[in-house]
Amino acid sequence: MRPFLALVLRCLDGATQALNVIGSGLILLLMILVGVDVAGRNLAGAPVAGVPELVTLSIVAIVFLQIPQALRAGRLTRSDALQGWLEPRHPGLAKWIETVFDLVSMAVIWVIVSTTWPIFTRAWERGEFIGALGDFIAPTWPVKLTILIGGSMLILQFAARILRRWIPLSPAEARP
Amino acid sequence: MTPFEIGLIALAAMFLSVLAGLFVPIALMLCSFLGVWAIKGTPLLASKLMALAANDAISSYFFGVVPLFVLMGFIVAEAGLGRDAFDVANAMFRRLRGGLGVGTVGANAIFAAITGISIASAAVFTKIAVPQMIRHGYAPRFAVGVVAGSSVLGMMIPPSLLLILYGILTEQSIGDLFIAGIGPGLLLAVFFAGGIILMAIFTPGFVGRPEGAPAALPPRALLAKGLPIATLIALVLGGIYGGIFTPVEAGAVGSIGALLIGLALRRLTWAGLWRVLVETGLVTATVCFLIIAAQMYSRMLALSGVPAGLGAWAAGADLGFWGLMILYVLIVIALGMILDSSSIMLILVPLMLPVVVPMGVDLVWFGIVTVLAVEIGLLTPPFGISVYVIKATLDDPAITLADIFKGAAPFALIMLAVLALVIVFPMIAIGLVPGR
Amino acid sequence: ESYNVTVVAGHPPVFRWVRMISESFIPAAQAALEAEGHSITFSEQYGGALAGVGEELEAVEAGLAEMGTCQALFDPAKLAVQNVTYYTPFVSDDVRLIAETVNDLHRNHTEMNLAYAENGVFYLGAPIGIDDYALMTNFPVTSLDDLKGRKIAAPGAAINWLSGTGAVGVSGNLTTYYNELKAGVYDGVLVFASAALPGKLFEVAPYVTKMGLGAQYAGSICVNAEWFVGLPAEVQTALVAAADAAQVWYHDDLEAFVQIALTKMAEAGATITEASPEMRAAWAQGMDNAAKTWATELDAQGKPASLILGLYMDAMRAAGATPLRDWDKE
Ligand code: NA
Ligand code: NA
């Protein structure tokens, strides 16, 4: 059971990291895109169409692609005062509170993911776009898809926190 | 229960769940969901509000460039340009107590002329300034406090996203607002610097013990260390004010510039660049996820009518000009504890406008007062976005959220003092505006 | 019966189309319903408090608000055919006529209402007209040649209007025009007088050339369909009548202000000129027919854009407008 669990967690972390890489790549792409637009406008009198629209779309994708990794890396914002106080005194209680918090987090993100699903399918079926017809348009469904993927991954990472808390893996087993 | 009462309960619930250690964005989302459910009587509407906010809240050109500004700062730090700049500052201010703190404020004032958003200032200077200040012997708590405090300059000194928002809300000229922001912004910087020097002299326990006067740098070394960063600043400021690119585009151009300088100096490796990109992504995600959650919370509060009720009460109270201004500032600061800057402005400014206009209040001045008061909220718990940005960027468990809030507290007080000055002496703000 | 209605607008209350709701629509609706023995209270959520610009339709569809400003201009994917005026410049500078024409199209043609039905809302009325777009520049314009290589900012679909002028079309919006003009990022903008005065654009782009690019239609008040259908007939009628009253109020206020705006800008030193007929003709003739492309693309998606384009142009011509190009017939 434990080797299998370790494998599952490794796969999850790998997928989380893959999303992280895509998100970071998007940032690099944005930088280049804006740079080319500025250069094109000033040097060639030919701006790149749709840069503001692409920037507008990308930020949502960047956030949802990277937020699972942010949780995994312990970067999600929280106050650790109570936990810091509780942990050494009542470790069992601290563990239970943390678990409840993770379950609540999973539920909250589930609400967002499940309600985004119909928004995604509609954007896909109707070809919803951002921009102006005749100048530049980009479909919005890929961004909605990143909310679904990133949100689901975030739920799984919360679940992984619970597993790791109750079934400690040796460093060798947990190695990515 | 009336929606108003539900709103009040949601406020208390948010305080408690954040203190109990629930992740801040999750706490905000949970309170919004339960709040809207209670107000509208259906979980379906509550979940729709959450999904719409997740899809739309940060989906704008202005938010879209946040990662690019963060990236520029991180490249500057990775390429060692930040360290060099601080060596130069240290050499220049070496006879000054708290010299590096003053240097950080000064650097932030310059960076403020490039960025329109305080989040970027906070992220960038956490990366650049905090390690350098700690390296030179400052207390970590003080180092992060200086960065949190001076990050507010990003919104006071033009360009400023909040002043643009105020201009749209009130139909005031954004150009006038920008000019009016210069005086209070510089005054704030001067007061921050003065405060740092005073704290270094009188509360060395809080500031830490910076090493004794460092050796002066020979002019050659000064030039070698100062030139790269000066080039980058000249490129970005020159580009903005020379009409080559917009302040919104400055993050991308600055990143490219910093990248080229770093590569030319052979200080930047491709591996380092990738590390910086990943780090930029994590900070951006953390902060923007918070902002999405804050938007949900603020929409829930709007439906409850609590902020509108507060504003209407202030607007209706027959207090005269001074009473109204004091009450207004108090309400803004109170809301600043729990809401993000733009939400406060969206809710309160339209409510106050019909009240202050008949009083003959200068709306440009009123905008500066509003933005200053709103920006205090960046530093106050439990929802202080500058503090959260620093925490996310720092990635150091030894420095807690509470440490950063405590470190920032003196700077919030200094802001309050400057705010009082701007209220009493409007010329600080509107003195430079043509035609006033 | 007493009704509680949440009304949403992404713009703050300084905008005329938001004031139209508070100052005209709501009092009119309240008076009409009281006369029928009902009462109605409104919770007004403006300026992005509940939904941002272009997100109002989603909020109304979701039921977070019962009614709101459905901004076709800022939500062009969902209200595609409603943007017909932005693809047909040089048709008319009469904002009241354009608003009335678009309103009539909605009232008389089911094809015009398909987009609303698809999104779970219902077109109530109160069309938001935008006064005639002019060219504001930091250099004098006497002929089309003056525009060659100049960077001119325009919002959304209006960037298509710059095709063939020789100008470099840059996509921009009102919030940054002043500073970008001042810094020289743009040499000019396409903008309407009622926004140019409060934004003080005349300080940085003092040459106002009235090109007659045309007044426009930006959006309307829409209501949640499920909610509206459930209302008694007399309440529905009262709300529609209130929207009609708001339409009159809005365009009276707007037309008066456009005159004030032009006068004040001239007093402040702006040079306001009418473009010569030759220049207007040259501009119009040089343009791509973006309306045709737009209609073809939407037709392919099953949206009746060509039909609406024809209906709109016919109605405008019938009302006495003299378009410089017959966008529908080329
Ligand atoms: Na700034
Ligand atoms: Na706060």
- B235 vs B252: CA distance, rounded Å: 12
Cα(B224)–Cα(B218) distance, integer angstroms: 10
What's the mean pLDDT in B63-76? 89
Better-predicted residue by pLDDT, B141 or A1: B141
Separation of CA B246 and ligand 1 centre (Å): 13
CA distance B340 to B12: 17
Max CA pair span of chain B: 72
Nearest CA to C287 out of C205, C184, C211 is that of C211
Q: How far is the CA of B382 from the centre of ligand 2 (A)?
A: 6
Interchain contact, B171 vs C198, CB within 8 Å: yes
Q: Model confidence at A171, in pLDDT bands (50, 70, 90)? A: low
Task: Say how many Å lie between the CA of residue B389 and the centre of ligand 2.
Answer: 12
Tokens found for residue B377: 């909220």
CA distances from B360 to A40, B88, B318, B366, B422 (A): 47, 48, 16, 11, 17
Question: Quick one: average pLDDT of B69-90?
Answer: 86
What residue of A is the nearest CA neighbor of C163? A135
Query: Average pLDDT of B208-235?
Result: 82
Quick check: A23 contacting B, CB < 8 Å?
A: yes
Query: Quick check: A41 and C170 CB within 8 A?
Result: yes
The span from the CA of A168 to the CA of A91, in Å, is 15
Q: How many residues does chain B have?
A: 436
Max avg pLDDT among A129-138, B344-353, B380-389: B380-389
Conformation bin of residue A52: beta by default, left when phi > 0, alpha when psi is -120 to 50:
alpha
Chain C residues in contact with A41 by the CB 8 A cut-off are 151, 168, 170
User: Across the strands, what pairs with C168?
Assistant: C151
d(CA C125, CA C236): 12
Q: Are B64 and A59 in contact (CB under 8 A)?
A: yes
**pTM for this model (two decimals):** 0.93
Q: Which residue of A has its CA nearest to B384?
A: A77
Q: Which of C63, C182, C185 sits opposite B45 (nearest CB)?
A: C63
What is the CA(B155)–ligand 1 centre distance, in A?
Answer: 5
CA–CA gap between residue A30 and residue A50 (Å, rounded):
12
Contact yes or no for B173 and C185 at CB 8 A: no
Q: How many CB atoms lie within 10 A of CB C134?
A: 24
CA atoms of C188 and C290, how far apart (whole Å): 22
C149: left (phi over 0), alpha (psi -120 to 50) or beta: left
Which residue on chain A is closest to B244 by alpha carbon? A42
CB–CB contact B388 A77 (8 Å):
yes
Residue C101 in contact with residue C312, Cβ under 8 Å? yes
Chain A residues with beta carbon closer than 8 angstroms to that of B385: none
Q: Does position B128 have pLDDT exceeding 60, yes or no?
A: yes
pLDDT score at A176: 47
Chains that touch A (3 or more CB pairs under 8 A): B, C
Question: Any CB–CB contact under 8 A between A170 and chain B?
Answer: no
Q: Which of A34, A57, A125, A133 to mutate to test the interface with C (most CBs of C within 10 A)?
A: A133
Structural domain containing residue A146: 2-174
Mean pLDDT on B374-388: 93
| Nearest residue to C290 (alpha-carbon basis) of C273, C311, C305, C268 | C305
Residue pair C15/B167 in contact (Cβ under 8 Å)? The answer is: no
Tell me if B65 and A55 make a contact (CB, 8 A cut-off): yes
Buried b (16+ CB within 10 A) or exposed e, A26-65: bbbebbebbbebbbbbbeeeebbbbbbbbbbbbbbbbbbb
Is residue A170's pLDDT more than 80? no
Interface contact flag, A119 B55, Cβ < 8 Å: yes
Cα(B278)–Cα(B67) distance, integer angstroms: 11
**Number of independent structural domains in chain A:** 1
Return the higher-pLDDT residue of C327 and B219: C327
User: From the CA of B410, how many Å to the nearest CA of chain A?
Assistant: 21
| Bond before B159 cis per omega within 30 degrees | yes
For residue B350, which of C319, C18, C88 has the smallest C-alpha distance? Answer: C18
Please tell me if residue B86 touches chain C, with a CB cutoff of 8 Å: no
A140 → chain C, closest CA residue: C77
pLDDT at C330: 87
Residue of C165, C170, C294, C297 to mutate for A, most A C-beta atoms under 10 A: C170
Kindly tell me if the per-residue pLDDT of A175 is higher than 60.
no
* Residue from B37, B40, B49, B345 to probe the interface with C (highest C Cβ count within 10 Å): B49
Residue type, A78: R
Calpha distance B335→C217 (Å, rounded)? 38
Q: A53 to chain C: nearest residue by CA?
A: C171
Instruction: Using a CB–CB cutoff of 8 Å, tell me whether C239 touches chain A.
Output: no
**Residues in chain C within 8 Å Cβ distance of B363:** none
| Buried-exposed string B80-89: b where 16+ CB fall within 10 A, e elsewhere | bbbbbbbbbb
Q: Give me the pLDDT at residue A145, please.
A: 97
Contact residues, chain A, for C72 at CB < 8 Å: none
Asked if C200 lies within 8 A of B244 by C-beta distance, the reply is no
**Closest CA–CA distance from residue B26 to any residue of chain C (Å):** 20
| Closest alpha carbon within chain A to C155 | A132
The whole-number pLDDT of residue B53 equals 95
Tell me how far the alpha carbon of residue B277 lies from the centroid of ligand 2, in angstroms.
29
Pairing of strands A136-139, A129-132: antiparallel
> What is the maximum alpha-carbon separation in chain A?
68
The separation between CA B239 and the C-alpha centre of its own chain, rounded to angstroms, equals: 24
Q: Quote the pLDDT of residue B399.
A: 92
Mutate to test the interface with B, among A48, A79, A140, A148 (most CBs of B within 10 A): A79
* Mean pLDDT in order along chain C per 10 residues (330 residues): 94 93 97 94 91 94 96 92 96 97 96 95 97 96 94 92 92 85 93 92 96 96 97 96 97 97 96 95 94 94 95 97 94
Q: Which residues of B touch A120 (CB under 8 A)?
A: none
Q: How far apart are CA B70 and CA B280, in angstroms?
A: 6
Kindly list the distances between the CA atom of residue A164 and the CA atoms of A10, A71, A169, B100, B383, in Å, as whole numbers in the listed order.
12, 14, 7, 43, 29
Region of poorest pLDDT, from A4-18, A140-154, B333-347, C235-249: B333-347
What is the Cα–Cα distance from A118 to A140, expressed in whole angstroms? Answer: 13
Question: Is the pLDDT assigned to residue A173 strictly greater than 80?
Answer: no
Residue of A nearest to B405 (CA): A79
Sole residue written with tokens 């703190």: B101
Q: Are B237 and B113 in contact (CB under 8 A)?
A: yes
